[in-house]
Structure 1
Amino acid sequence: MMAIPKTHDEFYPIDMGTDGWASPPGYPKEIQQKILSGLLDEENKTGFRTRLLRFEPGCYTTKPFVHDYWEEVYLVEGDLTVGNDENGEGGESFQPHTYACRPPGAVHGPFKSVGGCVLLELHYYDESK
Structure 2
Amino acid sequence: MNTPRRPIDLTALDLSEGWEPLKGYPAALQVKLLSDDLDETSKTGARTRIVRFAPGFATSATLVHDYWEEVYLLEGDMQFEDGTGPSGIQAPAYSCRPPGTPHGPYGSRRGCLMLEWQYYRK
State the TM-score, normalized to the length of structure 2. 0.89
Identity of aligned residues (%): 49
Matches within 5 A, 1:97-116: 97-116=92-111
- Cα deviation for residue 29 of structure 1 reads 1.7
Other structure's SS at 2:118 match: strand
Contact 1:58–1:116 under 8 Å retained in 2 = yes
Structure 1: gaps spanning 5 or more residues: none
Partner of 2:30: 32
Asked if the contact 1:72/1:122 (under 8 Å) is kept, the reply is yes
Structure 1 CA distance for aligned equivalents of residues 25 and 103 of structure 2:
15
Whether contact under 8 Å (2:5, 2:37) holds in the other structure is no
Contact (CA 8 Å) 1:75, 1:118: kept in 2 or not?
yes
Post-superposition offset of 1:16: 1.0
**In structure 2, what is the Cα distance between the partners aligned to 1:95 and 1:30?**
19
Alignment partners' CA distance in 2, 1:32 and 1:6:
21
TM-score, scaled to structure 1: 0.84
The answer to whether the 8 Å contact 1:52/1:119 transfers is yes
Conserved 8 A contact 1:28-1:61: no
Distance in 2 (CA, whole Å) between partners of 1:78 and 1:39 is 28
- One-letter amino acid matched to 1:67: H
Structure 1: 4+ residue segments shifted above 4 A? none
Given the alignment, which residue of 105, 112, 116 partners 1:117? 112
Alignment partner for residue 67 of structure 1, among 48, 65, 68? 65
The unaligned stretches of length 5 or more in structure 2 are none
Letter aligned with residue 9 of structure 2: E
Amino acid in structure 2 at the alignment position of 1:48: A
Aligned length: 117
CA distance in 2, matches of 1:71, 1:65: 11
1:1-129 alignment runs, 5 A limit: 6-17=5-16, 19-82=17-80, 84-85=81-82, 90=83, 92-126=87-121, 128=122
CA RMSD in angstroms, aligned pairs only: 1.4
Counterpart residue identity of residue 49, structure 2: R
